[in-house]
Amino acid sequence: MGASSRTWAFLLLGLLLTSFPGALGTNPGLVVRITDKGLEYVAREGLVTLQSELQEITLPDFTGDFKIKHVGRGHYEFHSLDIHSCELRGSALTPLPGQGLSLSISDSFIRLQGKWKVRKSFLKLQGSFDMEVKGITILVNLVLGSEPSGRPTVTTSSCSSDIRDVEVDISGGLGWLLSLFHNKIESNFQKILEIKICQMVQKSVTSDLQPYLQTLPVTTEIGSFAGVDYSLMEAPQATAQMLDVMLKAEIFNHDHRSPVDFLAPVMSLPEEHNRMVYFAISDYVFNTASLVYHEAGYLNFNITDDMVPPTSKIRLTTKSFRAFAPRLARQYPNMNLELQGAMVSAPFLNFSPGNLSLAPQMEIKAFVLLPSSIREPVFRLSVACNVSATLTFNISKITGFLKPEEVQMELKESKVGVFNVEMLEALLNYYLINSLYPKVNEKLANGFPLPLLKHIQLSDPVLQIHKDFLFLGANIQYMRV
């Protein structure tokens, strides 16, 4: 695959952001919207690639016999035609509703050089010529689809090219030879070049672009045991001014992928066109991540006395509990305690206009560590906590940060009598702020990767929070290598 073909592929596919296996009939977790501005950018950058592709076209020799008054009969050759420059001036990449995209190029020209040879009896003449092909227009329709695997497909449904005029400058000033070209060769030359242009485009799509699509990975890693499924749920949907690409965007566990028992919400995307591309990311994406980490036990924790700061007034010992839980101290004198915490269910991120929050529910079980190393359960607590979330959007991913408020604790079960849990609240707050949430924030800092291909960078990012989804806008830039 040539560098110029890869450039075209990166630009088109980097915007389409198509990847990988999905299920039909459900809402997407992620919608990528490419606006008219984004399509205009692809068309402009695509011209550079097509210009280099056009210069690789090889043209045949034109030979034949002639009979010209005052000249007589003879044999001619126009050979060694070489395209030495071309300029594609006007382009547009527009959506075809219900189909895909239409690429149109107009008001373009190609300059060629070649050699001519004439033989008449024993007389031989030869020289060179320059040719300028003007008013070239190209129209290509691309159909975008998807395979059952979720990978995208692209085919050329039609291609046409047209040449308005051909100018030739033949060395030697032989007017009869110029007339010979216009009468015998020009029409055939135009047809051949028009065919060659469309063959070049179709070959690029079939031999370069489509195989390149097939190399896209089906998942993106987001951690040691989790990945994100960017399945293309259906063919990209073209409307009058934009192209929407629906991706599953589900986080899953590598080792045991299990079905998700909730659906992604319907997202009502705002009509924004100030950026080239927009990402609508539903809460489904983040909540499937929470589900995976919850099921893996990542959010569970243990607290033992050696984890309590030396300056703390309360220790995780039965002696320390004597003042507010005397029965515990009497039944288990001078023994250590262990607290085991777990989320009751995966904490879901709530999206409301301008705000992100969580309300995780935890359960904490307390055990006495007996001399025999057996853990004896002694009481059970329920814990509620409100957490505010902050998300940041950079050029390739979304990162997050959680800021918890103080917990609210309630004694749910006790084998050592009823007691006040306020001192335990202080201990738990310390642990959450200094241990658990920093651990979670470290993971969130790694970020959720956006489905971008190599050499595509985002700039001028904007972020809006809507009900049930984030709406991220950006401009794109292809970084040539």
pLDDT tens sequence across 179-214: 878 887 888 889 999 999 999 888 888 877 777 667
Residue 140: C-alpha distances to residues 87, 271, 278 (Å): 18, 28, 26
Which one, of 353, 381, 355, lies nearest residue 366 by Cα?
381
State the DSSP string of 246-270.
Answer: EE--EEEESS-----SSPPPP----
How many whole angstroms separate alpha carbon 369 and alpha carbon 128? Answer: 98
Q: Which residues pair with 66 in a beta bridge?
A: 74
How many whole angstroms separate alpha carbon 108 and alpha carbon 110? Answer: 7
Segments of 88-176 assigned E as strands: 90-96, 100-120, 123-146, 152-162, 165-170
**Is the separation of the CB atoms in 466 and 450 below 8 Å?**
no
The band of 328, judged by pLDDT with boundaries at 50, 70 and 90, is: very high
CB count, 10 Å around CB of 71? 14
Q: What is the pLDDT of residues 224-260, one digit of tens each?
A: 888 899 888 888 899 888 999 899 999 999 888 888 8
Angle at 431 between CA 355 and CA 254, to 5 degrees: 70
Q: What is the pLDDT of residues 104-156, one digit of tens each?
A: 999 899 999 999 888 887 778 888 889 999 999 999 999 998 888 777 888 99
From the number of C-beta atoms within 10 Å of its C-beta (0-12, 13-18, 19+), residue 250 rates as buried
Q: What is the pLDDT of residues 397-419, one digit of tens each?
A: 888 888 888 888 999 999 999 88
Which one, of 116, 86, 111, 108, lies nearest residue 181 by Cα?
116
Looking at residue 16, its pLDDT comes to: 45
Q: What is the pLDDT of residues 32-71, one digit of tens each?
A: 999 999 999 988 887 887 888 888 888 999 888 888 776 6
**Is the separation of the CB atoms in 159 and 198 below 8 Å?**
yes
The band of 430, judged by pLDDT with boundaries at 50, 70 and 90, is: confident
Whole-structure pTM value: 0.83
Mean pLDDT, the chain, integer: 85
Q: Report which of residues 403 and 175 the model is more confident about.
A: 403
Three-state SS at 192: helix
Q: What is the pLDDT of residues 381-390, one digit of tens each?
A: 999 988 888 8
How many whole angstroms separate alpha carbon 435 and alpha carbon 104? Answer: 58
> What is the chain's percent helix, strand, coil content, to nearest 5?
25, 45, 30
Looking at residue 380, its pLDDT comes to: 95
* End-to-end alpha carbon distance in the chain: 15
Distance of CA 10 to the CA centre of its chain: 11
